[in-house]
Each structure stands twice: as structure tokens, then as C-alpha cells.
Amino acid sequence: MNVVNTNYAEDFYEYLALERSMAENSIDAYRHDMEKLMYYDEFYLGDRNLDMLTLDDLSKFLAWTAEIGLSARSQARILSGVKHFYLFLLAEGKVAESPAYLLSTPKLEMNLPTVLTVEEIDAIEGAIDLSQFEGERNRAIIETLYSCGLRVSELINLKTYDIHPDEGFIKITGKGDKTRLVPISASALKYIGFYIEQMRCHLAINNENKDFLFLNRRGRQLTRVMIFTIVKNLCQKANIHKNVSPHTFRHSFATHLVEGGADLRAVQEMLGHESIQTTEIYTHLDNNFLRDAIMTYHPRNK
């Protein structure tokens, strides 16, 4: 494979890590996208230097990603990675202009996320067996996910010292190690307190795990898979047939805020979204909610 290509790619990954402060999994996603471009360059474009590719070359590359069966969403993600790469080359003076600038993003269908009602969330919490050793922990997990709109990675990495009950906030470390303060409800704080008193303080916790808030019965940090398992089991017990994951509580948190009239910028800040466009999906959910309300209650629709 072309040495120059590889060097530019490695410089790009280093730039993402050091200057953009991206997390390793985000950099890995860019790496996978660039590997596809370099593969196409090697086998279809004669292994030319990446700084020599044209708009036509990149257009053919995107058409190839469709031909090999990648979805429109995957194509759009790859395009985003390629555009970022050429913007990096442009900033470094490796190209005079970005050949990816005029590339069109594949049209994506609007897939609205699954959202739980407040009654369904109450039913899920009601399905928790508080007589079990992990009962108080599981209730605190569900309440914290919904109360604060956390990603599952943010939940499992939450530290005991990130909770500030007197101020009513928790400190979250999100994507790219960026921190934000999120309000936490009194009920979530109450259930976290119950969990600490009735389970956590009785665990044998080694030094490596001592700061993590949510632990398993062996005193170790919970995994993403464990949170998914807890949620799936509780939904089954609560007889909820929606496709629910830990992320569903984050969607429900944001949707209920928008439905209640919260400012979209405030919701963006609490979710830790870099772009307001990511948060705007919840306005579409809210519009559906308003339409359902009209269809149900307006006298002309009865």
C-alpha cells in the first residue's frame, strides 16, 4: 500500500486524538472508514497518493460502497470521515482544496428512536425485586439513566465523587472526555443513597474499582452488557414489548423534556451533543406527540 497514504492517515489519527481530543473508539471508526478508501485506491485507482484523488475519484468510491451493500447510513458515516480527512489535509497544506467538499450525503430515512412513556418507566421500576441483593442498585440505575439522560458508557464510568447531592448535579464525562454538569432528580439521589447503604457498602471492593459508583456483587465495575441485560430482563417482567435498550431512557429523557416545553439548547447541553442538529430529532418526536394529541382529543377527529 502507498506509504504516503499510510503516513497521512496516521497523521490524521494523531490529529484527532491530540487536537480534537476524540475518544479511541471514535478514532477507530475514522480508521475503518479510511481503510475502505485506501483499499479502493489500491485496487481501483492504481494506488495513487490520497492527496491526488479528485472529486470524480471520491464519487466513484462512494458509489462502490453502495455496490458492496453498505447502507445509506454507513455511506454517510464514511463520507463524513473522508471529508474530515481532506479538511485535515487542507489545513496541513497537503492539498489546495478539498476534493470531498462537493460530495453529496446519501439521503437518509428519518428513523425516530423508541421512547417510553412515564407509565412504562414506572412499570419497569415496579418490576424490580427489591428483596434481591441487586434490587436497590438496579432501581438506582434505571432512575439515573432516565433522570439524567446518560449514555450507558457514562453511567458505568460514573464515580462516587461525581455526585453532588447538595447542589443537585452530577458531573458527567462524555465523548472525547468532555465533561458537563447535569441536574439529577431528588428521586434518583434517594435511590442512589439506598443502593450505597444497602448494597455497595457491604461489597469487597479492590482499589481499582473503589471509585466507580455502580458495581456488581463482586465489587467490580459494571459492563455495558450487564446494563443491557438488566434492562432487557426488567422489560420482560414489566410486559413491555418495545425494543428497549439503556439508550431508550436517554431518548425518553430528551423527548419528555421537549414535550414539556424545555429549551432545545438546554436539552442539547444536558445530552452533551456537539451539534444542535443531533438534538433536533426530538422536535420530530414532539411533533408526532402533538399530532397524536390532536387526533385523539380534537372534536373534529372523534
Sheet containing 179-183: order of strands: 163-164, 169-173, 179-183
The owner of cell 422536535 is 283
pLDDT at residue 124 is higher than 70: yes
Q: Which CATH class is domain 3-91?
A: mainly alpha
Sequence-ordered strand ranges (E) for the chain: 163-164, 169-173, 179-183
Question: Is residue 51 helix, strand or coil?
Answer: helix
- Domain regions of the chain by residue span: 3-91, 118-296
Residue 87 vs residues 7, 12, 75, 96, 129: alpha-carbon distances, Å:
16, 10, 18, 10, 53
Question: Is residue 212 helix, strand or coil?
Answer: strand
The H or E element spanning position 114 is none
Give the active site residues: 151, 175, 247, 250, 273, 282
**Averaged confidence pLDDT in the chain:** 88
Q: Which of the four pLDDT bands, split at 50, 70 and 90, describes residue 118?
A: very high
Which CATH architecture is the domain 118-296 placed in? Orthogonal Bundle (1.10)
Q: Which of the four pLDDT bands, split at 50, 70 and 90, describes residue 199?
A: very high
Return the pLDDT at 47: 87
